[in-house]
Structure 1
Amino acid sequence: MSLAKVATKFFNRHEAIGLEDMCLRILSLCNSKSLEEGLCVHSPLVKLDLHCNLFLSNNLLSLYAKCYGPEHARHFFDEMPHRDVVSWTGLLSAYSRNGRHGEALEVFDSMVTSGESPNEFTFSSVLRSCLAAGEFDEGTCVHAYVMKLGLESNTFLLSSLIDFYAKCGCSEEAHKIFRDMDSGDTISWTTMISSLLQAQKWSLALQHYIDMICSQVPPNEFTFVKLLAASCYLDPSYGKVLHAHLIMLGIRLSLILKTALVDMYSSCQRMEDAIKVLHQTPEYDVTLWTSVVAGFTYNLKVKEAIAALYKMNIFGFEPNSFTYSNILKACSTVSLLELGKQIHSRVIMTGLEADVCVGNALVDMYMKCSRHVEDGLRAFRGITSPNVISWTSLIAGFAQHGFEQDSFRSFLHMRAVGAQPNLFTLSAILRACSTNKSHSQTLKLHGYMIKAKALSDIVVGNALVDAYAALGLVDDSWRVLSMMRHRDTITYTSLATRMNRLGCHESALGVINHMYKDDVKMDGFSMASFLSASAALATMETGKQLHCYSIKSGFGSCTSVSNGLIDLYWKCGFANDAYRAFEEFSEPDIVSWNGLISGLASNGYISNALSAFDDMRLAGLKPDPVTFLSVLSACSRGGLVDLGLDYFHLMSSEYDITPQIDHYVCLVDLLGRAGRLEDAMEVILTMPFKPDPLIYKTLLGACKLHRNIPLGEDMARRGLQLDPSDPAFYLLLANLYDDSGRSDLGRKTRQLMKDRGVRKNLGQSWTEHRNHVHIFNAGDRSHPQINEIHDKIISLATELKKRGYPYTDTKGSSYHSEKLAVACGLLNTPPKAAIRVSKNMRICSECHDFIMLVTRFVDREIIVRDGNRIHAFKKGECSCRGC
């Protein structure tokens, strides 16, 4: 029999004098369980003239609000003959619970106007509505009203005020209220701790917990839930201590507390402990199992996550949208497209495909894992109501696949449908600008961000700095950077990385000083950028200082830093140090091996480079296209034609790597150096790419080496058709004529170059000593020691002739930049110290022979890194062996 029938039967049998108590019991029972059957007492209350009983009416008002919402509650409220603070508070709470906060505040205003004084529960509901509606000023007025009524010592109300100020970002005000409390209870302490955690003051929140214990205020399960959520941002041991405390205090392991412990251990990568906590009590729910699945996916243990999903089903819990979205995130992270498709099938079977949370995870998974952008677009279209995350995933996915224009169109469409971009959306669209190098789009977005006041966010600021730097507008990047309120390591790292790509290596190193002044510490990624700049400049002193700093800062285990050190030492000619940096790896990755192979090859250790390639394969690493570029280069420099051809064919036959244009350039160089010029030409004619100037230039260099004028002229003609302003074609052809005894044609070629207004690229060399870089241009006289440097070159040339060495000083070669740099090094470095010189293009043959002969009687090692390779001169020999 239903509750309504029981109540009606009872009313028919009893007098009105006993009904008040019975009605109250019925209403109390129904209120506790939100049972609408309790509303059956409304009619008897009116008939028996009990509707004037305010206590009964307030209970009935509460039941209307719970069962039918604020509209029905308001209708009943308006019919009440009498109202008190409980009536007003009940109606106000009904609006607040249903998210109708504006109407809740209107009820409060009507209450005050009616002369009814609010109590602590009224104020608490009003403060919640002020917070939700973003009415901060209204909330401060409520605070003033609280003080006017003398309720500022009410602990419950003060806890609500602390929560209000903390969630509005006013942690100082929240803290002041808490300090002024005479004595806090568990709720106020927990609220204060929660406010500190929201302000990301993790250590201070833990200190408050310690003070709470010292004040003998007992924490409850919600105190621990808050603290456990924060412990992942601190040392993992704090979470274990908190777990020990709650056991010691005898706090019952409720479902919400068990879930918080599972989350804590998952974030600390201690899934074994998380599983132990999971099975400590027989209580489970979907949220708890989802936390377990999320923990495994966070730790990239996808198999275990799937097993947890299976166990969840065995225990009788159906996965929800959050469960599936977590599994899909794992698929995105480790690129498991097939698994993602299987999860997608289950999502369709459970009818969650249109759910925005699952839909967002599907868009992200397909965009990151599938080669077809249409898969992600299809998932996006399946979402019933896309939110800002949906649009952001779509925009970022288009940019990732190289469809930058689609990213821009999606961004415009997003705004057209009324979805407001968030900080991550703006960062994603700026990354598209960086990739597409779209100046106009970057300027438009910059304007939009100024209007939206989004530049105050460091993530957006960093993305804009990177976008301008990608366009080569470094000054604009600095301007944005200087206007940012805060800067972090990412700000400076992205700028230094872009400067390296632009070839502005000195400016990249200059970023270090700006970081120091801004009190921003380097991390592994910024250190790798600065090491790359030092390697490009061959500034060994700076590189050594960076190496020392990396050791002191604990970056020794950082892979990107170690790879940067390998690159630095190889490019500076420090073979032993480069080897040592490589050997410090416990598990070198493909970048490490590529650095070793490339370094060995460029330093002339051909057989060692090829042995390293075999060692890499034995270690179980699969070569990538960069590996084969280094291997082919080693074979070319070592004259190992047949072996180089074998490696070239091995790329596609064994490793399924399609050779790119760079690999064909290496192949042409390999054949050309060996004198197989016709075979090299055949490669150019049959390769699946249109030839570029570099490949013609490479074969022209081989024609110069083997003095093949007809083919050389053909290569120069073809190359100049593609790039008429490249001086290298004129100079290589002129030198080919000179070497072949046709100096007349050489002079005509140089004159033709001059007539066409083509200028020779400026030869520049530099050397470093005493932490100062000395830069020389060909024919430069700006150096303060230039007279001494010229005298040194003349004395060395005189000594060569005196000793009878085969050396001819061609006109003007004494003023070549590499000679100037070597002479500067001889004058300014200690006796027997190695001299290191870098040049922006290939060293000329006359300067090469000059330096090599000088080392026969000058007991120095002279290392010259040119635009092609490293030449280590010692005792009259060069590591290039004339190749």
Structure 2
Amino acid sequence: MLCKTGSRIIKGNEGTRLEETCSRVLPFCNSNSLKEGISVHCPIIKLGLQDRLYLNNNLLSLYAKCFGVDKARHFFDEMPYKDVVSWTGILSAYVQRGNHDCALEFFDSMLISGQRPNEFTLSSVLRSCSALGEFEYGTCIQAYMIKQGFDQNPILVSGLLDFYSKFNFIGEAYKLFIYVGNHDTVSWTMMISSFVQAQRWSKALQLYVDMIEAGVPPNEFTFVKLLGACSVLGLKYGKLVHAHMLLRGLKLNVVLKTALVDMYARFQRMEDAIKVSNLTSEYDTLLCTAVISGFAQNFMFRKAIAAFREMRISGILPNNFTFSSLLSVSSLMLSLELGEQIHSRVVVAGLEDDVNVGNALVTMYVKCSDKIKDALRVFRGISLPNVISWTSLIAGFGEHGFQQDALHFFVEMRVSGVQPNSFTISSIIGSFNAAKLLPQTLMLHGHVIKTNLYKDIVVQNALIDVYAGLGMLDYAWQVVHMMSHRDAITYTSLASRVNQLGHHELALHIITDMYNDDIKIDAFSMASFLSASADLGTLVTGKQLHSHSVKSGLGRWVSVANGLVDLYGKCGCICDAQRAFGEITVPDIFSWNGLISGLASIGSISSALSAFDDMRLAGVRPDSVTFLLLLSACNNGKLVDLGLEYFQSMREVYDIVPQLDHYVYLVDILGRGGRLEEAMEVIQTMPFRADASICKTLLRACKAHRNIPLAEDMARRGLELDPSDPAFYILLANLYDDSGRHDFGEKTRKLMREKQLRKNPSQSWVQIRSKVHLFVAGERSHPQINEIYEKIESIDAEIKNHRYLYQGMGIGDSYYHSEKLAVAFGLLNTPSKIPIHIIKNNSICRNCHDFITFVTDLVDKEIIVREGNRLHSFRKGQCSCRGCQF
């Protein structure tokens, strides 16, 4: 009897010790997510300890962490006893796995069971409400919290702040924050995070100041959120927050390093970013990805790839965002080979069906591959394509010229249940714009009117751009006037398109519209306005824009600096153009083209060709526009052999295929050089069908060299291509006159009159004190017309006194040419020493050229006349063209 009793005592002691052991092992395994802890489940059952709630709750949590919520739920259902910890454990597991519908259903079951939730339960429920958009359900939870006395609980206050912020009720969140008061670090950080999420960056920083004044210490997550705000507000704020971290002695862990690297990378300070990342030896996937992404954002592609190699050598595994950043590098580099290598690593990592990686792969193949089917193949491999996936695919088909396919996928996208966003619509509209597809544009416009997307500014801006691009300015302005608010992109698109249509003065008027809408001119709109000023020749307006760009700090943008080079070059202010070019840190191809164009147009041929050599030495590769400028310079300088050499080097050296414009210049170079047969051979052998302009070019050369047979052939061909162009009749008639065949000249003019063809009226305009004055040949409507004609007569008298002879002085229509009227007006209304800048819509005639030459010999004043892309700078009785035009 004693032995049996003693045995029971021993067994009882062993059971107690085993229970204590299980109670120690399970929490340890649970906190470290060790699957081995599940082996304890078996002895618990054997020992009859399955009714121990503490052990079961630890097992429940371990099942959820290591084997998923389904197995944890099965174990929960078999538990003989359950408390609030048990219920909250399953609820939390559902939330962490994103099963929010199941989480709310489980919460309802918990309430029905009579179990009272605690603050952790309610916090999880609020997260599910936020994820599902269940605002009313969330407010009911808040009401329950108040009834149960949880309204001051810091965990639930933080949850409510996050809940209201997710629904963009930032004002209500802040009211709650103020009402509760006496917050801890978590609540302050949550409120700061809410303001950052709502893009109220300055308010987030102000709240941080209030937090410090309240004596609440910030933690690492506070600074992570603040650095996110600084990435928008500016580098100086980011440096200030970084300094605060150092002053407060915050330990620099991998989370903070990642946030700092991201902030510095956004402001092109990769040296600082790398210094921060190397301050400690601690690295993880997110930090390495931030470094790679930073290099990619700053176009430091080789360093991005090198950082990825170092990451692999260190044994740190890349994630989906790492691969997305690397695919972005290959897209920006247009390197299909690199993209395919990364794709292979994506497959090895098992991330091919990840939506973020899939989207990046679609974009890469769209940008780098000529075969759009590669992008489609990747797209079909994405398990659940989202709106970004569809938009990337649709934009890709549009960029490759398959607009109808893009529209087909747009329909398929909607059928699949994915709703297009503003970027989807704007991508399709953009492709329609490129293809000039008005019916499809109108159809899509009708679709967006039926949806809320019509109110989206991105869609509205896309519609403005496409209508303006199609020349339908009335439609574009209708969209502008219907917008509730406009931004810089609205007016930049409009100004750019209006400028392309040749309505330069209208483009400059957009500045007033921006001012009325209180929208600041940015670098892109400034470039458009400078372009309009350059094409219009309004130097006064251009200088005012230059002054504004300096004051506003826009001058450091390359696009703005290029606009200034173009402006001053086209206005003949070559010293100012060279000064603007010299201020560009790293000139691009547009910078060099602007400088070469300015030098060539003013007649500085050797300087223009020297600038081309400097460009090549700087490592900038010429483009097709560069060669147009070089051929133009050789044409103006009568450098026939050099022009031929440049033309041949396009394909042989730079792999640039000459276009029709290049052949026009080549024919002009040969024609002016008297090599008419070679010019004709170029027309007959070039890979393009001759158009009217190239026939007209050779016809001018025939007139200069009095080759009547070839001129007649060119006139016939040109009129077959463009019967309404009077220039062919005029050139041929003048050739007959020059050759002494006046009867043929008169017959040609008579034929032109019978066809009711007239030469476009000569127009010239000049800007005086910010106002543009337009003059038409023979006009009498200008308020100062009597003074203008008196001035011309006065100059005529001076010419006769000096016995200066020039053809046709005072005879016929040349006496009333628009450029003469503009010159006389400029002399009457500008101070001495101030240059006169005149723009013409056609070529200056010999008579007017001689007239202006004499004026500058009589008056100490520079007169600059621009005809197309060519400038005549008259000074002290000389012209920069040196008479080469004639």
TM-score, length-scaled by structure 2:
0.90
Q: Secondary structure at the match of 1:774?
A: strand
Aligned residue for 2:142?
143
Moved more, 777-786 or 671-680: 777-786
Contact 1:11 1:19 in 2 (8 A): no
1:503 shift after superposition: 0.5
> Are 1:793 and 2:775 an aligned pair?
no
Counterpart residue identity of residue 219, structure 2: N
Superposed, which structure 2 residues align to 1:825-840 within 5 Å?
825-840=826-841
1:144 to partner: Cα distance: 3.3
- Report the AA paired with residue 821 of structure 1: A
Q: Distance in 2 between matches of 1:612 and 1:66?
A: 68
The SS at the match of 1:233 is: helix
Distance 1:212 1:609, change over 3 A: same
- Deviation of 1:675 after TM superposition, in Å, equals 2.1
- 1:812 alignment partner, SS class: helix
Match of 2:465 in 1: 466
Q: How far did residue 10 of structure 1 move?
A: 14
Q: In structure 2, what is the equivalent of residue 702 of structure 1?
A: 701
Q: Give the corresponding residue for 1:328.
A: 327
> Structure 2 counterpart of 1:520, which letter?
I
Contact 1:36 1:67 in 2 (8 A): no
Alignment partner of 1:851 is 2:852:
yes
What letter is aligned with 1:852? T
Q: SS at the partner of 1:675?
A: coil
1:563 is matched with: 562
Report how far residue 276 of structure 1 moved.
4.9
Secondary structure (helix, strand or coil) at the match of 1:726 reads coil
Mapped partners of 2:306, 2:802: distance in 1: 81
Check whether the contact 1:297–1:305 (CA below 8 A) recurs between aligned residues: yes
Instruction: Give the Cα–Cα distance (whole angstroms) in 2 for the partners of residues 697 and 459 of structure 1.
Output: 45
| Compared CA separation, residues 271 and 858, structure 1 to 2 (3 A) | closer
Specify whether residues 813 and 122 from structure 1 end up closer, same or farther in structure 2 by C-alpha distance, changes over 3 A only: same
Secondary structure of the 2:653 match is: helix
CA distance in 2, matches of 1:260, 1:657: 45
Q: Which amino acid aligns with 2:813?
A: G
Work out whether residues 462 and 490 of structure 1, in 8 Å CA contact, stay in contact via their aligned partners in 2. Answer: yes
Q: Distance in 1 between matches of 2:788 and 2:332?
A: 58
2:4 counterpart residue number: none
Return the letter of the residue paired with 2:213.
C
Residue 689 of structure 1 pairs with residue 688 of structure 2: yes
**Could you give the per-residue CA deviations for residues 735-760 of structure 1, whole angstroms, max 9, x where no partner exists?**
33333333443343334334434443
One-letter code aligned to 1:836 = H
Distance 1:413 1:586, change over 3 A: same
Q: Deviations over 1:237-289 (max 9, x none)?
A: 54455445445545444443443344344445444554455455554433333
- Describe the SS at the equivalent of 1:232: helix
CA contact (8 A) 1:196 1:204 kept: yes
Find the counterpart in structure 2 of residue 823 from structure 1. 824
Q: Is the 8 A contact 1:668 1:699 kept in 2?
A: yes
Shift of 1:189: 0.8
What is the CA distance between 1:881 and its match in structure 2?
Answer: 2.5
Contact 1:765–1:818 (CA under 8 A) maintained in structure 2 = yes
Corresponding position of 2:653: 654
Q: Which moved more, 1:348-357 or 1:313-322?
A: 348-357
Alignment partners' CA distance in 1, 2:136 and 2:781: 67
Residue in 2 aligned with 1:447? 446
SS in 1 for 2:775: strand
Contact 1:30–1:38 (8 Å) recurs in 2? no
Q: What CA distance in whole angstroms lies between the structure 2 residues aligned with 1:106 and 1:353?
A: 33
* TM-score where L is the length of structure 1: 0.90
Whether the 8 Å CA contact 2:600–2:629 is kept in 1: the answer is yes
Deviation at 1:588, TM superposition (A): 3.1
* In 2: Cα distance, 1:295 partner to 1:265 partner: 8
Q: Please say if residues 844 and 867 of structure 2, whose CA atoms lie closer than 8 Å, have aligned partners that are also in contact.
A: yes
Answer yes or no: is the 8 Å Cα contact 2:311–2:317 preserved in 1: yes
Q: CA deviation at 1:385?
A: 4.3
Residue 730 in structure 1 maps to residue 735 in structure 2: no
| Separation in structure 2 between the aligned mates of residue 191 and residue 86 of structure 1, nearest angstrom | 25
Cα distance, 1:664 vs structure 2: 1.0
Which secondary structure state, in structure 2, belongs to the residue aligned with residue 655 of structure 1?
A: coil
> Measured at CA, do residues 153 and 827 of structure 1 come closer, stay the same or move farther in structure 2, by a change above 3 Å?
same
Decide whether aligned partners of structure 1 residues 788 and 12 sit closer, same or farther in structure 2, where only a CA change above 3 A counts. Answer: farther
Alpha-carbon distance between aligned partners in 2 of 1:280 and 1:534, rounded to the nearest angstrom: 51
Q: Is the 8 A contact 2:570 2:869 kept in 1?
A: no
Q: Judging changes above 3 Å, is the alpha-carbon distance between structure 1 residues 57 and 430 closer, same or farther for their aligned structure 2 residues?
A: same
Find the counterpart in structure 1 of residue 433 from structure 2: 434
- How far apart are residue 69 of structure 1 and its match? 5.6
| Structure 1 segment 379-458 matched on structure 2, within 5 A | 379-458=378-457
The residue number in structure 2 matching 1:718 is 717
Give how far 1:496 is off.
1.0
How far apart, CA to CA, are the structure 2 residues paired with 1:306 and 1:423? 33
What secondary structure does 1:836 align onto?
strand
Structure 1 residues 610, 379: closer, same or farther in 2, change over 3 A? Answer: same
Tell me, in whole angstroms, the C-alpha distance in 1 between the residues paired with 2:104 and 2:29. 28
Task: State the alpha-carbon separation in 2 of the partners of residues 342 and 598 from structure 1.
Answer: 42
Paired with 2:270 and 2:578, the residues of 1 have a C-alpha distance of: 38
1:765 match = 764
CA contact (8 A) 1:84 1:116 kept: yes
SS of equivalent residue, structure 1 residue 556:
helix
Provide the C-alpha distance between the structure 1 equivalents of 2:77 and 2:645, rounded to a whole number of angstroms: 92
Partner of 2:476: 477
Structure 2 counterparts to residues 141-290 of structure 1, below 5 A: 141-246=140-245, 249-278=248-277, 280-281=279-280, 283-290=282-289
Structure 2: 5+ residue stretches without partners: 1-7
**Could you say what secondary structure the match of 1:767 adopts?**
strand
CA–CA distance in structure 1, aligned partners of residues 491 and 10 of structure 2: 79
Deviation sequence 1:438-462 (CA, Å, 0-9, x none): 1122222223333332244433332
Give 1:502's aligned amino acid.
Answer: L
Specify the alignment match of 2:879 in structure 1. Answer: 878
Change beyond 3 A, Cα 1:268–1:641: closer
> What are the within-5 Å matches in structure 2 for residues 596-745 of structure 1?
596-745=595-744
Q: Are residues 123 and 864 of structure 1, via their aligned partners in 2, closer, same or farther at CA, if it must alter by over 3 Å? A: same
Quickly say closer, same or farther: Cα 1:93–1:375, change in 2 above 3 A: closer
Tell whether the 8 Å contact from 1:600 to 1:608 is kept in structure 2 after alignment: yes
Q: Tell me, in whole angstroms, the C-alpha distance in 2 between the residues paired with 1:241 and 1:832.
A: 52
Q: How many residues align?
A: 872
The Cα offsets for residues 635-678 of structure 1, whole Å up to 9 and x where unpaired, read as 21122222222222233333333222111111111111122222
> Measured at CA, do residues 837 and 280 of structure 1 come closer, stay the same or move farther in structure 2, by a change above 3 Å?
closer
Q: CA RMSD in A?
A: 3.3
Kindly provide the CA deviation profile for residues 296-332 of structure 1, in whole angstroms up to 9, marking residues without a partner as x.
3333333333333233233323333322222221222
Whether the 8 Å contact between 2:634 and 2:643 is mirrored in structure 1 is: yes
Indicate conservation of the 8 Å contact 1:726/1:758, yes or no: yes
What residue number does 1:4 align with?
Answer: none
What CA distance in whole angstroms lies between the structure 2 residues aligned with 1:614 and 1:524?
A: 29
Distance 1:577 1:278 in 2: 44
Identity %: 61
CA distance in 2, matches of 1:190, 1:227: 9
Paired with 2:141 and 2:10, the residues of 1 have a C-alpha distance of 45
Say whether residues 1:573 and 2:572 are aligned partners. Answer: yes
Is 1:97 equivalent to 2:96 in the alignment? Answer: yes
Distance 1:270 1:816, change over 3 A: closer
Aligned-partner residue type, residue 363 of structure 1: V
User: 1:42-53 counterparts in 2 under 5 A?
Assistant: none
Alignment-derived partner of residue 6 in structure 1: none
Name the CA distance, whole Å, in 1 between partners of 2:801 and 2:79: 121
Deviation at 1:11, TM superposition (A): 13
Q: Deviations over 1:722-779 (max 9, x none)?
A: 2222232233223333333334433433343344344432332111112111112233
Residues 556-599 of structure 1: CA distance to partner in whole angstroms, max 9, x if unpaired?
33222222222212222223322332333444333222222222
Q: Distance in 1 between matches of 2:344 and 2:129?
A: 43
Taking structure 1 as reference, are residues 647 and 11 closer, same or farther at Cα in structure 2, changes over 3 Å only? Answer: farther
Bigger mean CA deviation after superposition, 666-675 or 552-561? 552-561
> Deviation per CA, 1:798-843, whole angstroms, max 9, x where unpaired?
5434544344234333333222222222222234533221111112
Unaligned runs of 5+ in 1: 1-8
